[in-house]
């Protein structure tokens, strides 16, 4: 879909004139950036009703004390903690205050032998299980940029604090119970980033409200064992309902009031973590003291930019487990530096991306797709406020925008806490929208286009309509879906471009109670349609009764059969969907072993298109057949026949019955010249089963494998010598063919495998330049970075970068009109990390050469100016009488490689007169 077709502004805040500090945003709050106050600013974490951790950094102090009490003037208790000398000038002080009363304000100051903080105040959490009052959470995204010239995260924190205090008319520790961060708190897990980015920039809030973080991919960079993360955060004794983490401080959960907070790690998606999630969900679902569950997972559930760069573990494995309890209402992701919100298609669960103010991300930059489980994606820098009303059992979420990366740096922070989203969830509501009906009546076959029309939205719950879901299937069981579309009352996707970059609602003016099937939307055949409605509390109505119709006069598409998978475990049932059948009552589908000939050999199992061995009275063209037959292990195919004979009307579909083989490389990365080992187990031990090793970017086919070997055992290993430098994957295949029965497992041989190159290493300032690459690792967020010569990636702030959608080879073109003259290098980095995987190509950006004059000659009352020019380029002649100021005199466009102008001079009135020519 072309976003430029949808230049309709959404409801809030559209203005006619373009101003960077728009009038809608001028409120009582002083949005001028003040910056975190100086002095020791402690950091609170791991809040419990009876304890809290206080932490801070110093250069070289050795003492750790906190004085505290329940009034500012009586800090009657003192407690000493520990200091961890983590590096030169990196002393980490931490102390746990214990014996506290729940839901109580405490005053405290932190001190060492050299410095004492001012007195701060915080509030302990309510007692565990409390189900009265409010509980408020501040969520402030992914904020990995340390650049002290920008202080992006610090600005976002300051804005959030001001807005929250304005909303509630109270200091932040009275308004907010907890700050949640969904990962990428740092760009690299160095002490520098923990101290000077994460701790320093949240200093407005960290002494008052506890902050809890989540592992992102960037926490693992420069700190792969997470030693710094574990040393800085005191999460090791957290548990939820007695369930402890098998990998403490990597993923963790805890309960506050009657809410379970589950910080998962999208970077450690092992079955151990999956089992832990299951244990928490089982316990929380049964616990009377828990009403709510919120999960965090750095890589999100869904994303409409950089599509596919999500946590497939969260989406496919963890979310179905979380959805076992209706207490789970929200998943908070990050990783994409924008805001997004959606509802899972089938469960009453919201998911958001809280992308903070990290590396620039905007529309048009990446592969994008408009998904129906995302209601809005807004490429702003935002923060969110979650309010639980524990008595009313409601959760209200609001999202406030502060900045737009597309605005110039000087005027970027112009939104001033603009409300860009709000949504809510009410627990315990059993009233769903009323079951709708399709009002269409189809007496005779129809020709397309056809509009399906739903009855109006009806409910007694008081909730408004949020979504409709239309399905059209080729079978009455709605397995073989031809149309499957959820639409929300709004669909915020894309922006209006320069200069305002406003969000666009592509559903503005769309009646989502109607669904149009286009003139080419379905081939001839019989179909079944149904609809349901969802309310603003995420609850679906029942499906409407199905309405059947027959399409005629459309394209006569080819008959086709499809299976949902290519590998089935031996006892798993499978279904074969068929469509566009030739229309004989005795059309049928048979299952044969690979190599068998239908006719001479009987089918192992088969059905007429009514899923029985008795032909139907009238012909069926579309539908699905369910096979519950336990096929022996091996290779099989399904075939589609007509008229009780053996004439096949569609291409066969091959599949394999058996268990997947486990294939594991001995190492993820081999040195050049080393022999690569692939271990396998659970294999069928066929004499011609084989392991193929392929270069990333190639697909298994004859003569494509870099190396291969038969593997005719149940388990063992095969060694592959002589692999040249490169990124590879290995896969296990059956019987000399290309049926894959393992996942593809990646590994590499050699270091700095990828190659980057440039056609010229001399770039004129302002000119675009292209970097070519080959032998990339093939991961979605591989990137080419530009650094100044002598800089260290991951330590110095990068100058520019581009992703390239995980291509193994290709090129990227940089458009950097303001890149200053100097020496730079380009290199490839893998998977959004600072792991460098290519050579470096160094290049020089040349300053603009001075204009070269060919002539400047006085001729009477004129001066003849001639200079070397570029055809089509505009030049300005400027005039000065004293070299202390220049005024524009004439603007000309050159038409050749030399340009000449005659300029009048008045020598009687202006004895001194200077001219110059510029191309700026
Ligand atoms: Fe990330
Ligand atoms: Fe990030």
Average pLDDT in the chain: 92
Residue 365's pLDDT is: 86
167 exposure class (CB count in 10 Å sphere: 0-12, 13-18, 19+): middle
Q: How far away, in angstroms, is 820 Cα from ligand 1 center?
A: 29
Token look-up 């820098």 returns 381
Tell which residue, 227, 212, 223, has the closest CA to residue 177: 212
pLDDT digits (tens, 9 = 90+) for 793-829: 988 888 999 999 889 999 999 998 889 999 999 999 9
Cα gap 144→704, rounded to integer Å: 41
Instruction: Mean pLDDT check: name the lowest of 92-96, 398-402, 758-762.
Output: 758-762
Q: How far away, in angstroms, is 782 Cα from ligand 1 center?
A: 13
pLDDT digits (tens, 9 = 90+) for 551-610: 998 877 889 999 989 999 998 999 999 998 988 999 999 999 999 999 989 999 999 999
DSSP annotation string for 750-776:
SSS-BEEE-S-SEEETT--EEEEEES-
Question: How distant is the alpha carbon of residue 254 from its chain centre?
Answer: 25
The pTM score is 0.79
Half-sphere exposure of 766 (CA within 13 A, CB side): 5
Q: Are 595 and 580 in contact (CB under 8 A)?
A: no
Please give the average per-residue pLDDT across 333-355, as a whole number.
98
Instruction: Mean pLDDT check: name the lowest of 262-266, 455-459, 719-723, 866-870.
Output: 866-870
Q: How far away, in angstroms, is 502 Cα from ligand 1 center?
A: 25
Helices (H) and strands (E) in the chain, counts: 8, 62
Helix (H, G, I), strand (E, B) or coil at 763: strand
Q: How far away, in angstroms, is 220 Cα from ligand 1 center?
A: 10
> Which residues face 585 on adjacent strands?
none
Q: Is residue 886's pLDDT more than 70?
A: yes
Tokens of 402: 């502060």
Ligand nearest to the CA of 357: 2
Q: How far away, in angstroms, is 82 Cα from ligand 1 center?
A: 32
Residue 795's pLDDT is: 86
Q: How far away, in angstroms, is 334 Cα from ligand 2 center?
A: 7
Q: How far away, in angstroms, is 803 Cα from ligand 1 center?
A: 14
Helix (H, G, I), strand (E, B) or coil at 852: coil
Q: How far away, in angstroms, is 361 Cα from ligand 2 center?
A: 10
Ligand nearest to the CA of 218: 1
Cα gap 337→354, rounded to integer Å: 8
Tell which residue, 25, 56, 57, has the closest CA to residue 43: 56
Ligand nearest to the CA of 361: 2
Q: How far away, in angstroms, is 252 Cα from ligand 2 center?
A: 20
For the chain, the maximum distance between any two Cα atoms, rounded to a whole number of angstroms, is 113
Q: How far away, in angstroms, is 333 Cα from ligand 2 center?
A: 10
Please give the average per-residue pLDDT across 537-550, as a whole number.
97
Q: Are 808 and 830 in contact (CB under 8 A)?
A: no
Residue 850's pLDDT is: 76
Q: How far away, in angstroms, is 326 Cα from ligand 2 center?
A: 30
pLDDT digits (tens, 9 = 90+) for 819-868: 999 999 999 999 888 999 999 999 999 987 778 888 888 888 888 889 88
Q: How far away, in angstroms, is 178 Cα from ligand 1 center?
A: 22
Q: How far away, in angstroms, is 356 Cα from ligand 1 center?
A: 11
């Amino acid at each position: 879909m072309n976003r430029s077709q949808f230049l309709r502004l959404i409801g809030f805040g559209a203005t006619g004139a373009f101003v960077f500090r728009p009038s809608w945003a001028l409120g009582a709050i002083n949005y001028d950036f003040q910056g975190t106050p100086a002095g020791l600013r402690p950091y609170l974490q791991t809040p419990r009703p009876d304890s809290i951790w206080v932490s801070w950094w110093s250069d070289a102090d050795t003492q750790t004390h906190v004085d505290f009490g329940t009034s500012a003037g009586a800090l009657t208790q003192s407690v000493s903690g520990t200091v961890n000398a983590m590096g030169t000038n990196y002393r980490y002080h931490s102390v746990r205050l214990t014996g506290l009363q729940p839901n109580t304000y405490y005053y405290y100051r932190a001190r060492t032998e050299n410095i004492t903080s001012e007195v701060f105040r915080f509030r302990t959490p309510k007692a565990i299980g409390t189900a009265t009052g409010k509980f408020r959470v501040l969520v402030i995204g992914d904020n990995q940029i340390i650049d002290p010239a920008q202080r992006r995260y610090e600005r976002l924190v300051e804005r959030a604090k001001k807005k929250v205090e304005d909303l509630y008319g109270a200091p932040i520790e009275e308004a907010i119970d907890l700050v949640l961060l969904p990962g990428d708190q740092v760009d690299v897990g160095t002490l520098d980033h923990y101290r000077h980015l994460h701790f320093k920039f949240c200093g407005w809030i960290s002494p008052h409200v506890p902050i809890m973080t989540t592992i992102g991919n960037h926490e693992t960079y420069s700190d792969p064992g997470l030693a710094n993360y574990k040393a800085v955060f005191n999460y090791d004794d957290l548990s939820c309902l007695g369930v402890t983490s098998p990998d403490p401080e990597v993923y963790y959960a805890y309960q506050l009031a009657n809410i379970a907070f589950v910080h998962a790690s999208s970077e450690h998606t092992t079955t151990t973590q999956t089992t832990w999630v299951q244990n928490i969900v089982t316990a929380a679902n049964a616990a009377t003291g828990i009403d709510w569950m919120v999960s965090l997972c750095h890589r999100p559930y869904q994303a409409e930019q950089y599509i596919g760069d999500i946590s497939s573990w969260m989406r496919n494995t963890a979310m179905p487990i979380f959805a076992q309890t209706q207490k789970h209402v929200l998943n908070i992701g990050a990783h994409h530096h924008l805001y997004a919100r959606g509802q899972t298609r089938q469960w009453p669960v919201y998911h958001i991306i809280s992308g903070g103010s990290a590396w620039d991300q905007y529309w048009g930059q990446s592969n994008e797709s408009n998904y129906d489980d995302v209601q809005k994606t807004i490429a702003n820098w935002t923060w969110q406020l979650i309010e639980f009303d524990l008595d009313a059992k409601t959760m209200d979420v609001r999202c406030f925008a502060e900045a737009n990366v597309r605005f110039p740096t000087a005027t970027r922070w112009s939104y001033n806490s603009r409300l860009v989203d709000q949504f809510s969830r009410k627990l315990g509501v059993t009233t769903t929208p009323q079951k709708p009906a399709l009002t269409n009546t189809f007496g005779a076959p129809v020709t397309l286009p056809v509009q399906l029309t739903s009855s109006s939205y009806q409910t007694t719950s008081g909730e408004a309509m949020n979504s409709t879901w239309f399905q059209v299937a080729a079978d009455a069981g709605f397995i073989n879906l031809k149309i499957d579309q959820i639409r929300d009352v709004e669909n915020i996707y894309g922006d209006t471009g320069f200069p305002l970059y406003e969000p666009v609602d592509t559903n503005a003016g769309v009646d989502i109670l109607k669904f149009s099937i286009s003139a080419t939307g379905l081939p001839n055949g019989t179909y079944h349609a149904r609809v349901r409605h969802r309310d603003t509390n995420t609850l679906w109505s029942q499906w409407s009764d199905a309405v059947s119709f027959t399409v005629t006069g459309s394209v006569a598409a080819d008959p086709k059969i499809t299976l949902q998978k290519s590998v089935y475990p031996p006892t798993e049932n499978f279904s074969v969907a068929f469509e566009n059948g030739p229309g004989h009552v005795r059309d049928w589908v048979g299952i044969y072993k690979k190599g068998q000939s239908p006719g001479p050999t009987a089918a192992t199992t088969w059905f007429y298109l009514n899923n029985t061995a008795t032909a139907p009275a009238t012909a069926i063209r579309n539908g699905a057949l369910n096979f519950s037959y336990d096929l022996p292990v091996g290779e099989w195919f399904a075939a589609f026949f007509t008229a009780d004979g053996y004439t096949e009307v569609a291409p066969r579909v091959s599949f394999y019955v058996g268990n997947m083989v486990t294939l594991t490389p001995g190492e993820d990365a081999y040195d050049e010249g080393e022999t690569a080992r692939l271990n396998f187990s659970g294999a069928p031990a066929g004499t011609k089963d084989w392991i193929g090793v392929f270069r990333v970017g190639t697909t298994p086919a004859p003569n494509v494998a870099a190396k291969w070997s038969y593997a005719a055992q149940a388990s063992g290993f095969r060694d592959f010598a002589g692999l040249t430098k490169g990124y590879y994957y290995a896969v296990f295949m059956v019987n000399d063919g290309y049926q894959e029965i393992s996942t593809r497992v990646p590994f590499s041989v050699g270091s700095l495998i990828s190659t980057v190159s440039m056609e010229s290493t001399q770039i004129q300032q302002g000119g675009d330049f292209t970097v070519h690459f080959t032998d990339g690792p093939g991961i979605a967020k591989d990137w080419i970075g530009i650094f100044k010569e002598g800089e260290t990636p991951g330590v110095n702030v990068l100058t520019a970068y581009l992703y390239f959608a995980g291509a193994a080879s290709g090129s990227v073109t940089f458009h950097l009109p303001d890149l200053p003259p100097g020496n730079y290098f380009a290199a490839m980095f893998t998977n959004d990390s600072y792991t460098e995987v290519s050579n470096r190509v160094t290049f020089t950006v040349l300053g603009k050469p001075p204009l070269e004059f060919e002539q400047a000659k006085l001729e009477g009352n004129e001066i003849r100016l001639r200079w070397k020019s570029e055809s089509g380029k505009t030049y300005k002649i400027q005039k000065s009488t004293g070299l202390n100021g220049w005024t524009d005199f004439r603007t000309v466009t050159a038409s050749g490689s030399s340009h000449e102008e005659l300029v009048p001079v008045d020598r009687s009135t202006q004895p001194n007169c200077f001219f110059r020519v510029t191309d700026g």
